[in-house]
Structure 1
Amino acid sequence: MAILAPLFGIFTSFILLYYLSSLNRSNTFLALFFLCCNSVLMVYFGLHYSKIEFWEGICFVHFLPLSFLLGPALFFYVKHTVSEDKRLHRYDLVHLIPAVFTFFATLPFTTLPLATKTAMAHEIVNITEDYNLNFQWVTFEQILYGRSIHLILYCICAVIYFLWNKRHLMQKYGALPSNHRLIQKWIFSLVFLQLVIAGNSLGHMLTIYAHNYAILGIPSNIIFSEARFFGICGGGFFVQNFILFLFPKILYGNVSYEVELAPATILQEIKSSLPKKEPASREFDQDLQHYLSTHPFVKNDFSLSQMSFDLKIPERFLSSYFNKELKKTFGEWKNDLRIEYACQLIEEGNAKRLTIEAISTDAGFVSRSKFIDAFKARKGVTPSAYIKEKAEA
């Protein structure tokens, strides 16, 4: 029955990924976090509950680098959820150094023959319980201490970043997003569970390596016994999987962390009707060009709300931009971009290997007929005629 907990968690991870593409891209990091958590839980099961030597050999060391991805995945999720800057930068790769280091440090063991690894794992886990195994540059003891301390530090950093961002939003907008309490409760629940799991793991490791010590007069081998260690860790990850379903807006990704500005006053309406300053206009144009370079408009579910969420710009501002500046609706603008993209595909010679229907699908149209109508309205000819013209040119 213990295997059901990690399997349920992995299933949850795929639910998050399923709802990722069109609803909330923060789910990428949340799904990665859940996947890592439940892979670690699978390792616990393989080592201590399966009683199968083969799985003991597979689970003993191979998944240690995953433990050092829990903290970064949690931190990236918090940052991507609440921050106005959704981009990943090159310096973010620094967060992966501990995981990469652990991967290379444990290579002397992971590259041993499977039979040798299995025998060593079975003896250590079930017979001697002596985890004094040396790797390159570090010992097993240091890695086990390190993964707990590493996760605790990232939990603290995630909370600090969340509170810093809260203060930043208050200073910038004088208000917080309407769903601030929901996001805060969810993130703090995640962090609390990880602190419990990491703290329990650290206490258990201290009991193994530093031998018995007392907390409030109670021996550590009672507080952090092996049964309690695996019970708390396994139970913590299972509870984490379960409470996600208590936050359906998080699970299905239909909640965005964005300050909703108050209705404009008369003075603000007058100011908004005036021409914008050049730097602000140039900044918006740059952001829009960068956004369009990823071709988001070719997705079937591309909408004004999705664009608003991606750019962190209120929908009413975008609507005003299309109606007043471009003199067209969002739908007309979207189809213009899709037709230009289809023309680009044709001009690049893709028409020789793609059908009209395939080109229409690649450009984001739901049907061939809608594509032909939109194409003819903008180019004055059908796609077939346009392809023929380009071929003869």
Structure 2
Amino acid sequence: MEILAPVFGIFTSFILLYYLSSLNRSNIYLALFFLCCNLVVMVYFGLHYSKIEFWEGICFVHFLPLSFLLGPSLFFYIKYTLSNNKAFQPIDLLHLFPAVFVAINCLPFTTLPLEVKTRMAHEIVNYTEDYRLNFWWATFEQLLYGRSIHVMLYAVLSIVYFFWNKRQVLKAFGVLPSNHVIIQRWFFSLLFLQVLIAGTSLGHMITLYFKPFLILGIPSVELFSESHFFRICGGGFFIQNFILFLYPKILYGNISYSVDLEEENTFQKIKSSIAKPLKNGIETLEITNAIQQYLVTTPFIKKDFTLSQMSFDLKITERVLSTYFNKELNKTFGEWKNDLRINYACDLIENGMAQKITIEAISAEVGFVSRSKFIDAFKERKGVTPSTYIKERKSTGA
């Protein structure tokens, strides 16, 4: 039965990745974080509860680099939820260095024949509990300490970044976003659970290999015993899988961290939540103003941006919007959407983005599902391909 919790967590992570990543790109990192967490739990289960030598050999050491992805993926999620720029920065690749280091460092063990690894894993887990295996640069024991310290350092880094960003927002706008409190509770819930799990793991390792100590008068051999260690760590990951459902705006919504300078009263919020009915007398200027305000958030760069989504967001019926595009703008919704995307791509190119990422990355950044569709739409509107446009801008010094 214990295996059901991580399986459910892996299922949840794929839901986040498949359905919600297009709504908010930071959800990609949340999905990766949940996926890594639950794979780590399954590794624990395979090592200590399956009692199957084959799975002990598979789970032993091989998945250790995953533990060094927990901190970075959680930090990326927090950073890119708060940041206006959702594009992954090349410098962020440095955060993945510890995981790569661990994967390479463990090659002396992971490249051994499976039967040899299985025999060693079974003996260590069930009898000796001696994790002092020698790899290339760091022992297995040192890596076990390191993974807990690594997660705790990233938790501190995430908290520092959160409060730094909070000061920046207050300095720029003088007010915090309306969803600041719920986002803070959500972030801190995740960070607390990770610190609790990592701290318990670190305490267990120190107690196992060093002299016992006291915490608030409680001996470490009792506080960090093997039974408490598995209960706290397993319980922490179990709670984490279900705590997401206590935050429905996080799970189901496109929650963003942006300041609404025009705070609505209760009556206005209720009124704005009701879709405007189709009226013959609805004014074109009213729709134009609504769309202009709506475009400030650049919703058109989302891959799944549709007329239905726009209708839902603006509380204006699809029929009214479709009539507006066809009669007032003399174009379809799709043409209008691609016009905005191509103009946005041109802005990125002129701001030097083409020097940092590929054309394919730019096409994804502005919402196109493929490079070819982006090139076709670009050439149709600008008369040249994106690569030619980039070269022309370079030659003119623009």
Using the size of structure 2 for normalisation, the TM-score is 0.69
**Structure 1 residue 12: Cα displacement:** 1.0
What secondary structure is seen at the aligned counterpart in 1 of 2:253? coil
On the 8 A contact 2:57/2:121 being kept in 1, the answer is yes
1:240 maps to which residue?
Answer: 240
Counterparts of 2:62 and 2:48 in 1: how far apart (Å)?
A: 15
Q: Deviations over 1:143-192 (max 9, x none)?
A: 01110000000001101101111110000011111111110000000000
Cα deviations by residue, 1:303-325 (Å, 9 ceiling, x for unpaired): 6988xx9xxxxxxxxxxxx99xx
The answer for the alignment partner of 1:191 in structure 2 is 191
Matches for 1:298-309 after TM superposition, within 5 Å = 299-302=303-306
Distance in 1 of aligned mates of 2:373 and 2:248: 33
Mean CA deviation greater in 54-63 or 248-257: 248-257
Does the 8 A contact of 2:245 with 2:251 survive in 1? yes
Mapped partners of 1:330, 1:171: distance in 2: 41
| CA drift at 1:337 | 6.6
What's the RMSD between the two structures over aligned residues?
3.3
Alignment of 1:56 onto 2:42: no
Specify the SS of the correspondent of 1:19: helix
Conserved 8 A contact 1:197-1:233: yes
Deviation at 1:120, TM superposition (A): 0.3
Q: How does 1:177-326 map to 2 (within 5 A)?
A: 177-262=177-262, 296=301, 299-302=303-306
Alpha-carbon distance in structure 2 between the residues aligned to 1:132 and 1:125: 12
CA distance in structure 1 between the partners assigned to 2:21 and 2:183 by the alignment: 20
Asked if 1:334 is matched to 2:337, the reply is yes
* 1:258 Cα deviation after fit: 0.8
- Of residues 327-336 and 159-168 in structure 1, the stretch that sits farther from structure 2 once superposed is 327-336
Q: Quote the Cα distance in structure 1 between the aligned partners of 2:66 and 2:72.
A: 11
Q: How big is the shift at 1:90?
A: 1.4
- Whether the 8 Å CA contact 1:68–1:151 is kept in 2: the answer is yes
Question: Which residue of structure 2 aligns with residue 128 of structure 1?
Answer: 128
CA distance, structure 2, for counterparts of residue 164 and residue 330 of structure 1: 44
The answer (yes or no) to whether the contact 1:296–1:302 under 8 Å persists in 2 is no
Contact 1:17 1:27 in 2 (8 A): yes
1:114 partner letter: L
Task: Tell me which amino acid in the other structure corresponds to 1:235.
Answer: G
Amino acid at match of 1:334: K
Aligned-pair distance for 1:336? 5.0
Superposition deviation, residue 82 in structure 1:
0.7
Corresponding residue number in structure 1 for 2:286: none
CA distance in 2, matches of 1:248, 1:210: 44
Structure 2 CA distance, aligned partners of 1:90 and 1:262? 36
CA displacement, residues 239-286 of structure 1 (integer Å, 9 cap, x when unaligned): 00110011111112321111111279xxxxxxxxxxxxxxxxxxxxxx
What amino acid is aligned across from residue 110 of structure 1 in structure 2?
Answer: T
Residue matched to 1:44: 44
- State the alpha-carbon separation in 2 of the partners of residues 304 and 82 from structure 1: 27
The separation in 1 between residues aligned to 2:20 and 2:263, in whole angstroms, is 31
CA distance in 2, matches of 1:106, 1:252: 39
Question: Aligned residue for 1:14?
Answer: 14
CA offsets per residue over residues 84-138 of structure 1, 9 Å max, x none? 2222221111100100000000011011011100100010000111111111111
Give aligned pairs, total: 302
Q: 1:339 touches 1:363 (CA, 8 Å); kept in 2?
A: no
Q: Give the CA deviation at 1:221.
A: 1.5
Partner Cα separation in structure 1 for residue 27 and residue 233 of structure 2 = 23
Say which one has the larger Rg.
Answer: 1
SS of corresponding position for 1:206: helix
Output aligned runs, 1:74-153, within 5 Å: 74-153=74-153
Q: Provide the rounded CA distance (Å) in 1 between the counterparts of 2:24 and 2:178.
A: 17
Give yes or no for contact 2:301–2:341 (8 Å, CA) kept in 1: no
Partner Cα separation in structure 1 for residue 136 and residue 160 of structure 2: 34
Number of the residue aligned with 1:69? 69
Structure-2 change in CA distance of 1:81 and 1:305 (3 Å): farther
**1:338 touches 1:363 (CA, 8 Å); kept in 2?**
no
User: Does structure 1 retain, via aligned residues, the 8 Å contact 2:108–2:136?
Assistant: yes
Give identity over the alignment, percent. Answer: 65
Q: CA offset at residue 300 of structure 1?
A: 5.0
Native 8 Å contact 1:27 1:77 kept in 2: yes
Structure 2 unaligned regions, length at least 5: 265-295, 314-323, 344-371, 375-380, 382-398
2-side partners of 1:339 and 1:44: how far apart?
49
CA distance in 2, matches of 1:94, 1:339: 32
- Distance apart, 1:218 and its partner CA: 2.6
- Is the alpha carbon distance of 1:219 and 1:338 closer, same or farther for their aligned partners in structure 2, counting shifts above 3 Å? closer
TM-score (norm 1): 0.70
Q: Which structure 1 residue ranges, 5 or more long, are not aligned?
A: 265-286, 310-321, 341-361, 365-377, 379-393
CA distance in 1 between counterparts of 2:211 and 2:47 reads 22
